[in-house]
Structure 1
Amino acid sequence: MNKNKKSKVEKKLKDEDIIKTVDEVIDSFTNYHLYKLTSKKVIKEIKGSFSSGKESKLFWGKGFNNEDLAIKIFLTSTAEFRKSIKEYIYGDPRFESVPNKFRSLIYLWAKKEFNNLKRMKKYDINVPEPKGLSGNVLVMEFIGENGYRAPLLNEIYKELDSETILKIYNEIKENLVKMICDANLVHADLSEYNIMYWNSKVYIIDVSQSVDLNHPNAFSFLKRDLKNVYSFFSKLINVEEYEELERGTMSCLTRKEE
């Protein structure tokens, strides 16, 4: 077998291995986007699933520099969260039109999370670094080790002392200020269920629903985020009153209005 033919066969076998790994969520469109990301040398290998939900499934993978990747495949066969998607897209000035076709809507949703991650990362907000996007496949930095994701705050808080919990609380506040005042974004679903803690550092995840500050519901989403954070931490440690938390994180908005 000549060298070119051998490399083509090896590539085909490798591609088949990748597709088998994600077989339960694969369709021809997802297949196509995985091929694009492998050909662009974003994904070298997919190891296996480490998390799944109604709207997406997450896989641990490897890049061409042997870096760990989190590969998020948004499910194109479910319409369960169509309504909630539109709630976070309609009114966001970054999206002039919203497609009616469900698959196109999912692609826009994946693109929205990719862009939100890029924007947050630009302003030094602790989120996974985005690595690549094609259709309904989003590739980002893997937070964890050897295929095991980092623990969520709701999974680990009982093991932490008060000093560490206070440090985490302050770090979340710092990230919120940067998110609101610098990136001009609101997470819109922030809670202990989408905050990771790894190597003594907080990571905010699941930002697909995050909206621009000019979204008509941005402030109600922001207050919901702050109430979630306050509700969780106020049961564990002594923190300032909710009103003070709100003033501290939203002070830049007051200055802008002035």
Structure 2
Amino acid sequence: MKKEVAKRVQRIDTKVDKMRMRRKDTNTLKVKENVFDDATLKILYTVSNKGILNAIGGSISTGKEANVFLGEGKDGDIAVKIYRISSSTFRSMEEYILGDPRFRNVRHAKKDIIFAWTKKEHRNLTRAKEAGVRVPEPVHAERNVLMMEFLGEEGKAYPLLKDVNLDPEDAKLIFDTVIRYVELLYVKANLVHGDLSEYNIIVNPRTMEPIFIDMGQSVTLEHPKAREFLMRDIENILRFFKRYGIKEQAEDIYSSMKEIKQKTNKLS
């Protein structure tokens, strides 16, 4: 039985290689060991058979819990985010999970948490986009693999906000847009990003448009720590933009959002 399973996994691995998975250097091989385990290879083969993913290539970014790769979808480049099952810990996820009604019926085994987290990020991106927030458009979620719009040019991802040189005019424009997006999440999507900072915002260098990323931890307003997370998001943004002479108060921004939310609820 074990031999049959081993042969089946080997066949899947071979077929994924035919998807032109480029794993040439030692760093890539090291990543493969941590990310492309047998279960993930099966998932990639499944989405390949569905015609969603034609190829997966180089690494775009590496986070605490996931790696993002450049992929080739049916309509062009996509980003493929793979949450690590074998080597990750979901301790950092716990404060976002506990109290989130969407996790109420999820078993607290690591694998189940990661699968639910991946599905939640897909839903969060969808809700954010529908609310008018610029985020990567979700394409497909399958267990621990999330596929979404690739944001970049010629295979190179747009830079993080922290890496962009801004003049005062661009800084003010981006700041105003970021705060408007936080407000849209709160008022229209009933969401709080939960981990917003210059590390989770990318910028289109042509248009200077900010784009929110990494929304797996985003929580609904029913979460007991939603206000705490929202205030932290706002304070992180104010801290970053303080260097550009922007000195607004977090409580004032929050009060304005809360007032808009209350007015919106009365009208609905």
Decide: shared fold, TM above 0.5: yes
- Cα distance in 2 for partners of 1:256, 1:61 equals 40
- Partner secondary structure for residue 77 of structure 1: coil
Shift in Å, 1:21: 3.5
Shift in Å, 1:235: 2.3
Match of 1:197 in 2: 203
| Corresponding position: 1:183 with 2:189 | yes
Match of 2:85 in 1: 76
Q: Give the 5 Å matches for 1:100-139.
A: 100-139=108-147
- Cα distance in 2 for partners of 1:109, 1:208 equals 6
Task: State whether residues 19 and 31 of structure 1, in contact with CA within 8 Å, keep that contact through their aligned partners in structure 2.
Answer: no
Structure 1 residue aligned with 2:160, among 136, 140, 152?
152
- The farther-off stretch of 233-242 and 42-51 is 233-242
Match of 2:46 in 1: 36
Match of 2:59 in 1: 49
Task: State whether residues 184 and 212 of structure 1, in contact with CA within 8 Å, keep that contact through their aligned partners in structure 2.
Answer: yes
Once the two structures are superposed, residues 215-257 of structure 1 have per-residue CA deviations (whole angstroms, 9 ceiling, x without a partner) of: 0110111111111111111221234333322223332344478
TM-score by length of 2: 0.84
2:113 counterpart letter in structure 1 = L
- Partner secondary structure for residue 128 of structure 1: coil
Unmatched 5+ stretches in structure 1 = 1-10
Once the two structures are superposed, residues 198-221 of structure 1 have per-residue CA deviations (whole angstroms, 9 ceiling, x without a partner) of: 132110000000000000110111
| Corresponding position: 1:62 with 2:72 | yes
- Partner secondary structure for residue 134 of structure 2: coil
- Cα distance in 2 for partners of 1:150, 1:108 equals 28
Let me know the Cα RMSD of the aligned residues.
2.1
- The farther-off stretch of 220-229 and 18-27 is 18-27
Unmatched 5+ stretches in structure 2 = 1-11, 24-31
Shift of the 15–69 alpha-carbon distance from structure 1 to 2, 3 Å rule, reads same
2:57 counterpart letter in structure 1 = K
2:86 counterpart letter in structure 1 = S
Task: State whether residues 197 and 236 of structure 2, in contact with CA within 8 Å, keep that contact through their aligned partners in structure 1.
Answer: yes
Task: State whether residues 40 and 144 of structure 2, in contact with CA within 8 Å, keep that contact through their aligned partners in structure 1.
Answer: yes
Structure 2 residue aligned with 1:246, among 243, 246, 254?
254
Higher RCO (CA 8 Å, separation ≥ 6 residues): 1
TM-score by length of 1: 0.88
- Cα distance in 2 for partners of 1:135, 1:218 equals 26
Match of 1:216 in 2: 224
Task: State whether residues 72 and 139 of structure 1, in contact with CA within 8 Å, keep that contact through their aligned partners in structure 2.
Answer: yes
Q: Give the 5 Å matches for 1:222-237.
A: 222-237=230-245
| Corresponding position: 1:86 with 2:97 | no
Task: State whether residues 179 and 186 of structure 1, in contact with CA within 8 Å, keep that contact through their aligned partners in structure 2.
Answer: yes
1:57 counterpart letter in structure 2 = N
- Partner secondary structure for residue 47 of structure 2: helix
- Cα distance in 1 for partners of 2:192, 2:183 equals 10
Task: State the percentage of identical aligned residues.
Answer: 38
Shift of the 83–14 alpha-carbon distance from structure 1 to 2, 3 Å rule, reads closer
Shift of the 257–183 alpha-carbon distance from structure 1 to 2, 3 Å rule, reads closer
Once the two structures are superposed, residues 164-203 of structure 1 have per-residue CA deviations (whole angstroms, 9 ceiling, x without a partner) of: 0000001111111110000000001001111110132110
